[in-house]
Structure 1
Amino acid sequence: MLIVETIARIRREHFIKGKTIKEIARDLKVSRNTVRKVLRSGETSFEYERQVQPRPKLGRWAVELDGLLAANAAKSAREQLTLIRIFEELRGRGYDGGYDAVRRYARRWSKERGQSTAAAYVPLSFAPGEAYQFDWSHEVVLLSGTTVMVKAAHVRLCHSRMLFVRAYPRETQEMVFDAHDRAFALFKGTCTRGIYDNMKTAVETIFVGKGRLYNRRFLQMCSHYLVDPVACTPASGWEKGQVENQVGLVRERFFTPRLRFKNLDELNAWLLDKCIAYAKAHRHPELVDQTIWEVFEAERPKLVPYAGRFDGFHAVTASVSKTCLVRFDNNKYSVAASAVGRPVEVQAYADRIVIRQDGRIVAEHPRSFGRGDTVYDPWHYVPVLARKPGALRNGAPFKDWVLPAAIERIRRKLASTDDGNRQMVDILNAVLTDGLPAVEAACAEALGHGVHSADVVLNILARQREPAPPANIMTPAALTLRHAPIADCARYDNLRRTI
């Protein structure tokens, strides 16, 4: 094979040293035709490619091999056969050649097919405030020393490339609502169009073309923020390529090496700072004389003004057990005792649970994302204690109950008396009518007088509820007495004699 070093030497020997073709052929031990070819063509390299590939054994099997390769390529990645399996299939049909010939043929077949089906794309351009893109990614972090898979919500403004990232424990609809609200609050506005993939929390049915049946609650959110949602073609990630690229960028720059935080709140605060710092430090890919943050600041006036927080919750109906508990998402939450016996509506937000009955809030708790957790609010069970005061000592909702200091001191003092539970229940029931600050002040006043009886505390509360004495009325000067009246009992004595 004629290598580039030999070609270079032939050219130097002839054009610099002036040697003849015969001399060069003799010195370098190559043919004269080869030397002539190099000198006449002026090329510095030659590549030989066989025009006709003889396949004495594979030739008549080429059609069948083409069919096997095409059928295999049409399968999903998980179901595709390896080349050795295809070779074995061909051998089973009667092919008696070697594997190497099949491998070379398959490589050339793949190369030719790749050239004929190579995808080309049109670069996209967006006006300020025209569109944003949304997507999810899965990232691994350490929270309180435990390895956790979090779901990162990504929002990207298409014009300025301003990014927003927030981590959640789930990809549920209420998380989608929360991510949009926090992103739009940061941007101080939103775009007229939102570009999404066909996630189940937004799209219920995919029709031919761009037709979509969107989720009702998702459409409510878009209506609140004045956004026109657009869903991509299935398996066409390039239609929202900016946020797809953001996923890789954030994974490389933010989540590598593996992050370590105490909880999700600390992680999200750090992610928000990183998003802003990245935008201020990096140039815009198109407007290279400005940073992403500077282009974002210029885009802000073109955004649709932020409409305020959308009441983004996922609602389900649930029943209330006799122990004042409602089951939701593999966990239990307590409700007010008055809600027992009738269904309630559980409104799940990204960070809390609100439970309503006939439009009235009967419970509100921080949301738990574990399994089998029970979240109590002891005040929900205080009305039940009026009938079962003994439950105050061993009731599950009252374990580790942190009360205000004065009420807790009263509770410890009453614990040593025979009817201490009953008296404490009377004090706790007063909180439901008078409020916690008033009862705490009454307990502090009772302790200041050296007593801790429930009767004393309730008496103090009763005195506080009595109306205040009427204010002094100013008497006009014309009606003011100039001489004080003198008591005269003589008229009374005369009256008595006449009887």
Structure 2
Amino acid sequence: MSITPELTAQILRYHHAEHWPVGTISSQLGVHRETIMRVLTQAGVAPNVPAQRASGVTPYMPFIEQTLKQFPSLTASRLHAMVVERGYGGRPDHFRHIIARHRPRPPAEAYLRLRTLPGEQCQCDWGHFGHIQIGQAKRPLMAFVMVLSWSRRIFLRFFLGAHMENFLRGHVQAFESWGSLPRVVLYDNLKSAVLERKGQAIRFNPALLTLAGHYHFEPRPVAPARGNEKGRVERSIRYIRDNFFAARAFSSLDDLNAQADAWVAGAASQRRCPEDTKLSVQEAFEQELPQLRELPATPFSCEELKIVSASKTPYIRFDLNDYSIPHTHVQRSLTVHASLNEVRILDGQQVLATHRRCWDKGAQIEIDAHLDELVQHKRAARVHRDTDRLVHAVPQIQTLLNEAAKRGEPLGRTASQLQELLDVHGRTPMTAAVADALDRGVPHPNAVRLALERQRQQQTPPPLGVALPEHVRERDIAVRPHSLDGYDQLIGNQDDAND
């Protein structure tokens, strides 16, 4: 802590003139005791410090220092167990503080400030910026950052994951954004760049070597534990995190990248260039452009390639979602070619389907024609099954269907109606009815139905004669009605006699 000359004079005055002890000066001025003792020591005054009690660990300090000198990384817990076996009775937490003060520390390493020539080098790395929710999918939000080492020109692009294809896309888009590229690209030892490293023996990722061969740059990993060698990109990521992403609102990944492009072209390019503070980053970039190398005539292809297996349903699974395919290609191995916006499904060189890419989870992306063709195929298969049953029961039905087809009759409906007639009347009557319809030259289900009805009428038995007994036959004799006037006269005469 640095103190003002006025405060230094005040501390000395209270000590010499007022004879205040160190504790009193500290409490009254609000200054730490060690600061007051340092001021008095620098003034040639030995402050009165109360004698400290002897610590219980003091007898063991020679053993502790000797052990730490031989094993500098030995843990405090192990040292505590060793001195406890030798009679120490102190607590482990207090012992850890003692070891922290006496543990030998390696001298701090000094780093040279690395300087590069214009157009010579850029540095590249990923930055993790949390997650983004798209429908049911929670995807990592990763920032691909590449910065030119001399001008500090930044390229920033956000991706949904740090996949190798996105790593390659970041390179291509950065080079296209600058319209050129440097001679060397510097990497940390991330798996997208370095698969394995043993000292100076480095096994690069083959996809990165293919990209480097296309653009003719040198991929160069930094030495292990040498953060200063790629400090420009690390500081750029921290700058992006603090000055661009903090409290940033965006509606989609495309919106976020559009805002990033505007920020890179604006605020990030107007800041002072560390290599030459008289220049802005934009001005330094314009001076560096002539030293950068030209791009090749054709860009590098960064499509994702994946072998997938189609199951019994007309879909393939790719990146958490299902994409439809023609039903004729189920239960096969197919190839997916995917960009950030499009998914193409191929069988060899034949393109089966092209879909928009979906970043959701568990979605079904369909082409209506694929499902319509499957429905028609199922219906045709059902018609074929019905026809096979009919022909097996009544072989002449095949001739009737052929004739019906020549007349343009719908075969599905014809087969369905014939099947209904066969189920009701049976095989033998149906055979005769079909033959009758063919003889009449009318290959239609209605002709077969009429023939079946005529068969039923012809098979109705004639009325039977019944012999009736005599008394029953007499009941059917006609009876001549008689006049009832005589009965009226008899009734009238009887009434007169009573009078």
What letter is aligned with 1:305? E
Q: In structure 2, how many angstroms separate the alpha carbons of the residues matched to 1:362 and 1:92?
A: 76
**Within 5 A, what are the aligned runs for 1:421-436?**
none
Q: In structure 2, how many angstroms separate the alpha carbons of the residues matched to 1:70 and 1:370?
A: 58
Aligned to 2:276: 287
Aligned to 1:95: 88
On the 8 A contact 1:194/1:230 being kept in 2, the answer is: yes
Q: Which moved more, 1:143-152 or 1:345-354?
A: 143-152
Q: In structure 1, how many angstroms separate the alpha carbons of the residues matched to 2:378 and 2:176?
A: 49
Structure 1 residue 333: Cα displacement: 1.7
On the 8 A contact 1:143/1:263 being kept in 2, the answer is: no
- Partner SS for 1:299: helix
What letter is aligned with 1:62? M
**Within 5 A, what are the aligned runs for 1:238-387?**
238-257=228-247, 259-307=248-296, 308-387=298-377
1:108 aligns with 2:101: yes
Q: In structure 1, how many angstroms separate the alpha carbons of the residues matched to 2:301 and 2:268?
A: 29
Q: In structure 1, how many angstroms separate the alpha carbons of the residues matched to 2:71 and 2:245?
A: 37
Aligned to 2:428: none
**Within 5 A, what are the aligned runs for 1:130-209?**
130-140=120-130, 149-209=140-200
- Partner SS for 1:128: coil
What letter is aligned with 2:264? C
Structure 1 residue 220: Cα displacement: 1.1
From the superposition, tell whether residues 93 and 328 of structure 1 become closer, same or farther in structure 2 (CA, over 3 Å).
Answer: farther
On the 8 A contact 1:143/1:264 being kept in 2, the answer is: no
Q: In structure 2, how many angstroms separate the alpha carbons of the residues matched to 1:47 and 1:386?
A: 103
Q: In structure 1, how many angstroms separate the alpha carbons of the residues matched to 2:18 and 2:232?
A: 57
**What is the aligned counterpart of 2:116 among 104, 117, 126?**
126
Q: For structure 1, list consecutive stretches of 5 or more residues without a partner in the other structure.
A: 11-23, 31-40, 76-80, 392-418, 423-499
Q: In structure 2, how many angstroms separate the alpha carbons of the residues matched to 1:282 and 1:56?
A: 57
On the 8 A contact 1:143/1:260 being kept in 2, the answer is: no
Aligned to 1:57: 56
What letter is aligned with 1:165? L
What letter is aligned with 1:61? Y
- Partner SS for 2:272: coil
Aligned to 1:216: 206
Structure 1 residue 109: Cα displacement: 2.4
Q: In structure 2, how many angstroms separate the alpha carbons of the residues matched to 1:306 and 1:208?
A: 33
- 1:341-390 deviations in whole A, cap 9, x for unaligned? 43212234344333222123222333333432322222334443442469
> How many matched pairs?
357
Q: In structure 2, how many angstroms separate the alpha carbons of the residues matched to 1:142 and 1:330?
A: 15
What letter is aligned with 1:220? T
Q: In structure 1, how many angstroms separate the alpha carbons of the residues matched to 2:46 and 2:345?
A: 77
From the superposition, tell whether residues 329 and 193 of structure 1 become closer, same or farther in structure 2 (CA, over 3 Å).
Answer: same
Q: Which moved more, 1:227-236 or 1:186-195?
A: 227-236
Structure 1 residue 322: Cα displacement: 3.1
Q: In structure 2, how many angstroms separate the alpha carbons of the residues matched to 1:63 and 1:353?
A: 71
Aligned to 2:224: 234
Percent identity of the aligned residues? 27
Q: In structure 2, how many angstroms separate the alpha carbons of the residues matched to 1:285 and 1:134?
A: 18
- Partner SS for 1:135: strand
- 1:375-427 deviations in whole A, cap 9, x for unaligned? 22223344434424699xxxxxxxxxxxxxxxxxxxxxxxxxxx9xx9xxxxx
On the 8 A contact 1:166/1:268 being kept in 2, the answer is: yes
CA RMSD of aligned residues (A): 4.0
On the 8 A contact 1:133/1:157 being kept in 2, the answer is: yes
From the superposition, tell whether residues 232 and 341 of structure 1 become closer, same or farther in structure 2 (CA, over 3 Å).
Answer: same
Give me the TM-score of the superposition, normalised by structure 2: 0.61
On the 8 A contact 2:308/2:333 being kept in 1, the answer is: yes
Q: In structure 1, how many angstroms separate the alpha carbons of the residues matched to 2:362 and 2:41?
A: 80
On the 8 A contact 2:140/2:161 being kept in 1, the answer is: no
On the 8 A contact 2:57/2:88 being kept in 1, the answer is: yes
Q: In structure 1, how many angstroms separate the alpha carbons of the residues matched to 2:70 and 2:338?
A: 48
From the superposition, tell whether residues 49 and 199 of structure 1 become closer, same or farther in structure 2 (CA, over 3 Å).
Answer: farther
On the 8 A contact 1:178/1:350 being kept in 2, the answer is: no
Give me the TM-score of the superposition, normalised by structure 1: 0.61
Q: In structure 1, how many angstroms separate the alpha carbons of the residues matched to 2:135 and 2:354?
A: 29
What letter is aligned with 2:193? A
Q: In structure 1, how many angstroms separate the alpha carbons of the residues matched to 2:46 and 2:100?
A: 19
- 1:216-255 deviations in whole A, cap 9, x for unaligned? 2221111112121111233433221111111111111111
Q: Is the radius of gyration larger for structure 1 or structure 2?
A: 2
Q: In structure 2, how many angstroms separate the alpha carbons of the residues matched to 1:135 and 1:282?
A: 21
On the 8 A contact 2:184/2:219 being kept in 1, the answer is: yes
Q: In structure 2, how many angstroms separate the alpha carbons of the residues matched to 1:363 and 1:292?
A: 46
- 1:253-301 deviations in whole A, cap 9, x for unaligned? 11112x3222101111111111111233201012111100111112122
From the superposition, tell whether residues 84 and 4 of structure 1 become closer, same or farther in structure 2 (CA, over 3 Å).
Answer: farther
Q: In structure 2, how many angstroms separate the alpha carbons of the residues matched to 1:68 and 1:372?
A: 60
